[in-house]
Chains A and B, each alone.
Chain A
Amino acid sequence: MPCLINMLKKNMERMKNKIKIQRAVHNLTQEELAEAVGVTRQTIIAIERNKYVPSLLLAYKIARYFNLPMEEIFSFK
C-alpha cells in the first residue's frame, strides 16, 4: 500500500499541465471548464495543482475543448 502511494506520488510529480495557462488564454473560469468537460470544480483545481492525474478520457476531453493536441497541454517530465 505505501509502495503504491509512493509510486502514484512520483507519477504525479512527473505529470505537468498547462490548463491554467489555457484557461487564462481563453478567459475561462474553473467552473466553466469543469462544466464543459463534465467534472467538478475541485477536480480541475486538483489537476491544475498537479495533485491529481486525469484519466485518458478526461485529458482528451480537456485537450479537445481547447482545440489542442493532448501533448500540448499535458507533458510527462
Chain B
Amino acid sequence: MKNERLKAIKIIVGSFISVTMVLAIISQQIYLGFASVLIGVLFWRLVQKRSKNIVVDERVMIVAGKASRLTFVISTVLSALLSVFLIASGSGSGQIDLEAVGTILSFVAMFNLGLYAMSYKYVEKKYGADEK
C-alpha cells in the first residue's frame, strides 16, 4: 500500500471519529462516542497490519519516547502545581470542593511519579542494567 493512500485512510478515520464524537456529544450518547473511537482504532490497526509499509522504526520510537517523557514532565509538574494552588486557595477561603480537587490532583501527580519510577526500573532491567 502506498504512503499517500495510507495517509488518506488515516485522514478518513480521523474525520469519522471526530464527526461521530461531535454527534455523540450533541445527542448526549456516551456509548456512540466510545463505539466510534473503538471502531476507528480497530479499523486503523487492521489497515496498518494489512499494509506492508513500515510505519514504526527506531527513529519513530525515539521520537515517541521523547514525546512521552515531555508529556509526563509537563502533566506531572502542572498537576502538582495546580494541586498546591487549589489546596492553598481552598483552605484559605474555606471552599472544601477546591481543596478536594487539589488533593485528588496531588494524588494523580504522585501516582504518575510512582508509575514512572516502576516503568523506569522495568525498562532499565530489560535493557540489562543489572548490577549483579
Query: A60 → chain B, closest Cβ, in Å?
Result: 13
B23-73 at interface with A (beta carbon < 8 Å): 54-55, 57-60, 62, 73
Q: Report if A46 contacts B (CB, 8 A).
A: yes
Chain B binding surface SS class: helix
CB-defined contacts of A46 to chain B, threshold 8 Å: 59
The winner among B55, B57, B60 for most chain A CB atoms within 10 A is B57
- For chains A and B in complex, what number of residue pairs have CB atoms within 8 angstroms? 26
How many B residues touch A, CB cutoff 8 Å? 9
Query: A36 → chain B, closest Cβ, in Å?
Result: 11
Q: Report if A21 contacts B (CB, 8 A).
A: no
List chain B positions with a Cβ less than 8 A from chain A. 3, 54-55, 57-60, 62, 73
List chain A positions with a Cβ less than 8 A from chain B. 1, 34-35, 38-43, 46, 52, 54-55, 58
CB-defined contacts of B60 to chain A, threshold 8 Å: 40, 43
Query: B48 → chain A, closest Cβ, in Å?
Result: 13
Q: How distant is the Cα of A13 from the Cα of B12 in the complex, in angstroms?
A: 40
Q: How distant is the Cα of A52 from the Cα of B73 in the complex, in angstroms?
A: 24
